[in-house]
Structure 1
Amino acid sequence: MSLNQKPIFKTSSSLFLRLGIILAGLVLLVILLAQLTWFLGRWGQEQDIQHLETTLGTNIEASRVSTLSPGAAFRPMTKDEFCHMEGRVHTVGEWTKARIFNQSPMLRTAVDPVEDRLPKNPLVIHPPDQNGPYGGTWQRYGTSAPDIGIFPARLAYDGLVRWGPMAQQIFPNLAVKWEITDGGKTYTFWLREGVHWSNGMPFTVDDILFWYNHVIMNPELTPTIPREYQRDGIPMEVEKVNDHVVKFRFVSPYGLFLKVLASGRSYPMVEYPAHYLKKFHPDFIPKKQLMEMTEKESFDFWYQLFEDRASWQNTEVPRLWPWIIKVPPPAQLIVFERNPYYWKVDGDGNQLPYIDRMTFEIYDTEIINMKAMNGEIGMQGRHLQFDNFPRFKTNSKNRGYSVRLWISSGGGSSLALNLNHKDPILREIFADRRFRIALSYAMDRQQLNEIAFFGIGQPCQISPPAISPFYSEAYEKAYIEYHPEEANRLLDEMGLKTRNKAGIRLRPDGKPLHIRIEIASVFLSTPMFELIAKQWTDVGVKTQLKLEARQLFYTRKSALMHDVGVWGSADELIPVIDPRWFFPFSQESIQGIGYARWFLSNGKRGIVPPEEMMKCMELYQQIERIPDPTEQVRLFQQIIELNRQNLWVIGTIGRVPSLFVVKDTFRNVPEVAVSGWIFRTPGNTAPECYAIDQLTIENDEGINVQSDR
């Protein structure tokens, strides 16, 4: 090596050093850009908040409403009133007139005439207020792109059948009629003839078969078949009778199947257009070609590509919804636009929907509530916080909206002690019914009601409301009085009499009895739970509130690490659909996830439940096999009585109405309806018949639908 030649390792070291400096610089630049983006985003949102707060303050002052009694704004509906809601909500029917239809002016350039785009027998929606007019944009807000993904469930909600607006009836939808035979083992549905996907292709039973054979029965797309699609561990069979008649067969009777379909298990069946999605499935194209497509789209596995193509965000996949995605995320303004092939009409033959577009913008919850107060929402209840109710109400007149209080189908927030706790001493304490009853007596629910719900709610256990056929007054009111003396007596009786200097009871191992109420960050208003922690501490059970990110909350509960979990109700109006709080029914039964695993696996995994809890499971399995609603109620009442005796879950405040803000220009939004997840609210109120009527506001004159023939 010559004297002028540099050693190779020195050159390499120099090169690596330079690359390292460049890489570090790039990383630093990315971090700085991320910080700048975050800062500008927060700054922009703060400007929005400041502007909205100023506007709202001016509007509230101008409204000249000095005080507001929220309790006076809501009166619970009686059962008789609930059962006689005719004329105040939408109804459905079948088209029996001549095939003369109208369409939105927006569709005047459509290739096919409206008569050819509608099915042979379109579903008729009779709106509660008026027919039309056409036009307008429905403004909504979400907290993220996945949050807007509730659109298919909550705002389209187009499956074979639907719940009605008062959750008393199951309405036909894509299915015209149905028949239950073979003792509840066979369900036959007749589909509407001539329904089209949004691209004009026909919708038939073949699309349902594609979903069943190539999505549900494909282990890569569906690793675990939902329990609702099987009996005794055996998946249902789906049989094509003809293009418009389909049968579902089970190995044993399934009395709840129709309710399950209405509660969200039938719209996934009709979200997979076979003619489009076959192009991304290995059962229909060569695997080599599919993998090339997969790699081209930067996915690792074919099923990722398939799920992406089937996603609600894909503007190319055909739909049966009233509005279809036109501008997806990450656009700032996400836009859904009317489906020219939508298969419903009103009583005058006007093709639905009335509203042309639905738009979403993404903000945090605080700004969404501010925008609602400022009148910037068309119709929405999602993300609106009940503790803002007085401000919504006070500001509504000047900002041109009303506040609707719909009937909540649930029983309030639950406090679920972890009966499968990993700490053996806590597990033994929690298993004693006296401990759970003592904690219930230690709660001053009247105080909780005032601090969280302005006195509007009702102290109760997690139980069906009075308007439900499953109602039990004995369970609703069990152990809900504020009785700290009885709480102390029960805790003493358990052997937890000894206390430390701070007044905290000692466990059998001599340690202070200390528990945490764990609450996911989705519960934005925590004062009620902070007060509960204080009330439990006052009877010697040291309690702290622990606020966690939702993902951490789910991780801890799945690992059986939580002490007391908090979650919302599960539509106890019809508790047979999701009885999570009456016995460990699913992974959401946070009072006994180990027991739920035993139930779901038919005893193969999990923790064997105690005798009375097992009795609840056996009763529910009987209910699942019985199509008779009266017998379902009778058997579930026995489950409720076992809950009254054992109080496996502690209730707080229930019967709190669901809050919705509705623009004054909106029509056909009911004053009152039932609100709940299993009813897919507001989907159960037929959003496709909502209308925006600007002219009525301006001159208070009647207006007819403005349509193109």
Structure 2
Amino acid sequence: MKRRVLTQALLMGLVARPVFAANPPPALQETPGLLDKVKSGALPPIEKRLPQKPRVIESFSGSDGPGRHGGQLNMLVAATRDTRLMTIYSYTRLIVYDDKFKLHPDILESYEVKEGREFTLKLRAGHKWSDGHPFTTEDFRFFWEDIANNKDLSPNGPSVELLVEGKPPKVEILDELTIRYTWDKPNPDFIESQARAAPLFLFRPAHYLKTLHGKYTDEEEILKRYKGSRWSNVFKRQDAMYGNSNVDLPTLNPWVLTTVPPAQRFVFVRNPYFHRIDAKGKQLPYINDVIMTVVAANLIPAKAGLGESDLQPRYLGLRDYTFLRDAAKTSGIKALLWEKGSGSEVAFYPNMNANDETWRKLNRDVRFRRALSLAINRDELSDVVYSGLAKPSANTIMPRSPLFKPEYATKWATQDVKAANKLLDEIGLTKKGSDGIRLLPNGQPAMFVVEHSSEKADEVDNMTLVIDQWKKIGIKALLKPQTTDNFRLRTTSGEAIMTAYAGVTTAAPTPDTSPREFTPVMQGGLQWPKWGLYVESKGKQGEPCDMEVGKKLLELLQQWEQAVDSAGRRKAWEEILTVNADEVFSIGTVNEVRQPVTVGKKVRNVPEKGYWAWDPGGYIGLYEPDTFWIAG
């Protein structure tokens, strides 16, 4: 799920300067909703809550800024675990993309890159966590020494993004506000790993988490306060930086969770120490509170259309748009259509690490994968499921990428039932049962289960139509929904033979974007989960890649990582994309589908046109929801 735009300037070692460098911050204005707390002494005044150099937001993605403070924003979610959406939407990171996909320091005051291997990060003086405790390099030291390199918490050691040729960086705390990471060779993943929707967090609130860490607090004391068999289990549960499920965990996000999960209604209140301001000196966010109400996913479109959600960027599909547009006439909402960034609306992933020997062998046979892809009538999919508004395509990058070539989208992705049948015959699946389904070598029908975790009707319709088309070439498949957690477990364990999920999210890369998603190095790669787990666990779990074409992709990824210029990285990218297109490791359907986003009649600064994708920016994160505001 990752789209990365790592600029050539960064790799060449230029300094990334603070966005406010040219002008001093404006005079600060106290937030009206916090005045009583300031007067009572419960909170310090604004000049003592903000960093000395806050990040100044001078332009807005919408046309209604700057805004005013106050109000409440209601959103609908489908599960308790969706508290993590606030981390994604808030998009508060060390470094962030803007809506033009350029990188800027955010939590950082500045950063400097030398030779692509030395990274010096400068924090903002006076920046504080949501509980008012100083945010300093001690929070980075604590993460590096006491989490990333603690065997109880990180048995596999630091994340792969922090390793270059298996070696970790030299980490230097230069002072309270400056930290440096240095590798012997360039690390092209480091900067972009900080700007992701799900970033590689390099820091933690040390002052809070030390109370749960066996190095700093007696284990008996920890277990008296929390249920658990070991301090490390308690720590992992409470360390919810991304999951955003621990009300006691300080945050740097614009809103702070106040509701203990599980619940049906989650309340997030403004962070009085948030580090961004507008050009008039008003502290962000503008909106006081965000309320997330849990409802059934299939009810969200109807409720959004009736105006029960002030902002709904999730759980809507293109098939809901006509209803939303019509409902807007009476409810007063806006029903927007944003550009959707995904290599395929739905893609099918033959699990080459499946435990079943027969199906593993078939999944690894490129003729089988090509046959399944050739059997799909993608034009029919577009017409029936997406009202003709989708583009037939393999699961690959999109035309907005400078790396795009038409053959990536069309190779083995144009319906040819005759060719599909011929490929299956070549494999040896020539015998059929009375029902027309081909027979496997063991005499059993060629029937498997496609496992998925989607709750969206259009995605299920997509899968259902594809399965009907596969039946015409003698392959029978059944759909089986799973919970997301079970879906992942069954895939990685090898129990799942084939899965259906969203397509690649590295959908509009540049040559300097990491091509990791197209290579077997991540557990999340549904077509090769055990190979990816093997890489991520540094050989302690999973299985080493044992297919020559997979090894070829690993070599090409290494070539990209070692390339000294953009031309070298482009060459590696093109070979990686060519291999993926020819080998059909995943089977795409359609892309370029639009994403409905509904906006309440009093909500301001949400752009009419936007790019809706996981990465970069976390769906609406690119557009800085802390700058959205409520009209009176």
Identify which of 221, 225, 237 aligns with 1:292: 221
1:616-646 deviations in whole A, cap 9, x for unaligned? Answer: 1111123234474553333111100112222
Identify which of 295, 304, 315 aligns with 1:372: 304
Find out whether 1:337 has 2:269 as its counterpart: yes
Shift of 1:165: 2.2
Counterpart contact for 2:27–2:280, Cα < 8 Å: no
Q: 1 CA distance for matches of 2:515 and 2:426?
A: 32
Change (3 A) 1:577 1:304: farther
Q: Tell me the equivalent position of 1:174.
A: 107
Q: 1 CA distance for matches of 2:117 and 2:193?
A: 14
Identify which of 125, 128, 139 aligns with 1:207: 139
- Larger mean CA deviation between 439-448 and 320-329 belongs to 320-329
Identify which of 537, 552, 560 aligns with 2:471: 537
Shift of 1:594: 3.6
Spell out the pairing of 1:208-227 with structure 2 (5 A cutoff): 208-224=140-156, 225-227=158-160
Counterpart contact for 2:396–2:504, Cα < 8 Å: no
Q: Tell me the equivalent position of 1:643.
A: 580
Say which SS state the counterpart of residue 241 (structure 1) adopts: strand
Shift of 1:601: 5.8
Change (3 A) 1:632 1:665: farther
Find out whether 1:396 has 2:328 as its counterpart: yes
Change (3 A) 1:213 1:518: same
Find out whether 1:114 has 2:46 as its counterpart: yes
Root-mean-square deviation over aligned CA pairs: 2.6
Amino acid across the alignment from 1:618: E
Q: Tell me the equivalent position of 1:554.
A: 488
Q: Tell me the equivalent position of 2:6.
A: none
Q: Tell me the equivalent position of 1:46.
A: none
Q: 2 CA distance for matches of 1:318 and 1:218?
A: 22
Identify which of 579, 591, 603 aligns with 1:666: 603
Counterpart contact for 2:25–2:56, Cα < 8 Å: no
Q: 1 CA distance for matches of 2:84 and 2:563?
A: 35
1:252-279 deviations in whole A, cap 9, x for unaligned? Answer: 3211211111115657334x22233323
Q: Tell me the equivalent position of 1:38.
A: none
Q: 2 CA distance for matches of 1:558 and 1:498?
A: 32
Spell out the pairing of 1:540-689 with structure 2 (5 A cutoff): 540-574=474-508, 582-600=518-536, 606-626=543-563, 628-679=565-616, 680-689=618-627
Shift of 1:374: 0.8
Amino acid across the alignment from 2:623: T
Counterpart contact for 1:256–1:627, Cα < 8 Å: no
Amino acid across the alignment from 1:352: L
Q: Tell me the equivalent position of 1:135.
A: 70
Say which SS state the counterpart of residue 412 (structure 2) adopts: coil
Q: 1 CA distance for matches of 2:494 and 2:200?
A: 33
Identify which of 227, 244, 254 aligns with 2:187: 254
Q: Tell me the equivalent position of 1:357.
A: 289
Spell out the pairing of 1:1-400 with structure 2 (5 A cutoff): 93-94=20-21, 96-97=23-24, 100-109=27-36, 110=38, 111=41, 112-125=44-57, 126-128=59-61, 129=63, 130-152=65-87, 154-166=88-100, 168-181=101-114, 183-224=115-156, 225-264=158-197, 266=199, 268-270=201-203, 272-285=204-217, 287=218, 290-307=219-236, 309-311=238-240, 312-330=244-262, 332-400=264-332
Q: 2 CA distance for matches of 1:206 and 1:195?
A: 13
Amino acid across the alignment from 1:269: L
Counterpart contact for 2:351–2:527, Cα < 8 Å: yes
Change (3 A) 1:232 1:275: same
Identify which of 368, 371, 380 aligns with 1:447: 380
Change (3 A) 1:371 1:338: same
Say which SS state the counterpart of residue 468 (structure 2) adopts: helix
- Larger mean CA deviation between 598-607 and 458-467 belongs to 598-607
Counterpart contact for 1:94–1:123, Cα < 8 Å: no
**Count, aligned residues:** 597
1:120-179 deviations in whole A, cap 9, x for unaligned? Answer: 211111223210121110111222322223322x1322221012224x211210112222
Change (3 A) 1:485 1:93: farther
Amino acid across the alignment from 1:162: V
Shift of 1:93: 4.1
Q: 2 CA distance for matches of 1:601 and 1:316?
A: 30
1:234-264 deviations in whole A, cap 9, x for unaligned? Answer: 3333211122211112343211211111115
Q: Tell me the equivalent position of 2:428.
A: 495
Say which SS state the counterpart of residue 354 (structure 2) adopts: coil
Q: 2 CA distance for matches of 1:594 and 1:238?
A: 31
Say which SS state the counterpart of residue 418 (structure 2) adopts: helix
Shift of 1:568: 1.0
Shift of 1:563: 2.5
Change (3 A) 1:103 1:569: farther
Gaps of 5+ in 2: 1-17
Say which SS state the counterpart of residue 481 (structure 2) adopts: strand
Q: 1 CA distance for matches of 2:406 and 2:103?
A: 27
Q: 2 CA distance for matches of 1:309 and 1:430?
A: 40
Q: Tell me the equivalent position of 1:484.
A: 417
Change (3 A) 1:644 1:220: same
Q: Tell me the equivalent position of 2:10.
A: none
Q: 2 CA distance for matches of 1:220 and 1:384?
A: 41
Q: 1 CA distance for matches of 2:411 and 2:55?
A: 45
Q: 2 CA distance for matches of 1:511 and 1:193?
A: 68
1:333-390 deviations in whole A, cap 9, x for unaligned? Answer: 3211112221111112221111111111221112322211111111121222433222
Q: 2 CA distance for matches of 1:119 and 1:594?
A: 45
Gaps of 5+ in 1: 1-90, 695-709
Q: 2 CA distance for matches of 1:250 and 1:342?
A: 32
Counterpart contact for 2:223–2:231, Cα < 8 Å: yes
Identify which of 679, 690, 695 aligns with 2:628: 690
Counterpart contact for 1:469–1:633, Cα < 8 Å: no
Q: 2 CA distance for matches of 1:260 and 1:386?
A: 31
Shift of 1:597: 4.2
Say which SS state the counterpart of residue 599 (structure 2) adopts: strand
Counterpart contact for 2:80–2:264, Cα < 8 Å: no
Amino acid across the alignment from 2:628: Y
Counterpart contact for 1:570–1:580, Cα < 8 Å: no
- Larger mean CA deviation between 290-299 and 202-211 belongs to 290-299
Say which SS state the counterpart of residue 471 (structure 2) adopts: helix
Q: 2 CA distance for matches of 1:247 and 1:206?
A: 13
Change (3 A) 1:143 1:243: same
Amino acid across the alignment from 1:689: T
Larger radius of gyration: 1
1:182-202 deviations in whole A, cap 9, x for unaligned? Answer: x32221112222212223332
Shift of 1:534: 1.5
Change (3 A) 1:659 1:577: farther
Amino acid across the alignment from 1:97: P
